[in-house]
């Protein structure tokens, strides 16, 4: 299983759930984002302990953020994805606890948001689109919308 296959599948499921309800002028934009590490996927954390485990796993390492976007009209659909490599500085236990307590990242893949404190203070490097890490590769979306 490749990391990109998971969000591609999920974004397509989201978009296709609206098939049959669209009018001629409607465009659906559905997306899904995951964090992919050497040990597999990090989805949204179930609770604070799960978030802590994820952030410890990301500390001082690089990972890939995949976001897939599905576009659909009443007669057409297409799915594409983007990948961004993110590198974290080392995170102390106190920093992890502070982040979980103040930002409550329970709705975020990998238990973090690049736009939150942790992204500002602890992302050492980013290769690819920042907006992809936030959950929508806007540059690719814009280009694809031009083709419709």
* Residues noted as catalytic: 32
Smallest Cα–Cα separation from 54: which of 32, 81, 31, 36? 36
* Residue 105 and residue 56 in contact, taking contact as beta carbons nearer than 8 Å: no
d(Cα 45, Cα 112) in Å, to the nearest integer?
Answer: 10
In angstroms, the CA 43 to CA 53 distance is 12
Across the strands, what pairs with 31?
69
Classify strands 40-42 and 28-37 as parallel, antiparallel or unpaired: antiparallel
CA distance 88 to 129: 16
């Amino acid at each position: 299983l490749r990391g990109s296959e998971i969000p591609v599948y999920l974004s397509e499921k989201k978009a296709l759930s609206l098939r049959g309800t669209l009018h001629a002028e409607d465009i659906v934009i559905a997306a899904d984002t995951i964090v992919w590490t050497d040990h597999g996927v990090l989805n949204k954390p179930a609770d604070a302990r799960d978030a802590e485990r994820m952030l410890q796993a990301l500390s001082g390492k690089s990972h890939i953020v995949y976001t897939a976007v599905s576009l659909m009209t009443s007669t057409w659909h297409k799915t594409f994805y983007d990948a961004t490599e993110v590198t974290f500085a080392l995170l102390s236990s106190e920093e992890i606890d502070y982040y979980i307590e103040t930002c409550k990242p329970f709705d975020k893949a990998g238990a973090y948001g690049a736009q939150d404190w942790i992204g500002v203070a602890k992302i050492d490097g980013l290769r690819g689109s920042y907006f992809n890490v936030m959950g929508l590769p806007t540059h690719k979306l814009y280009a694809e919308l031009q083709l419709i």
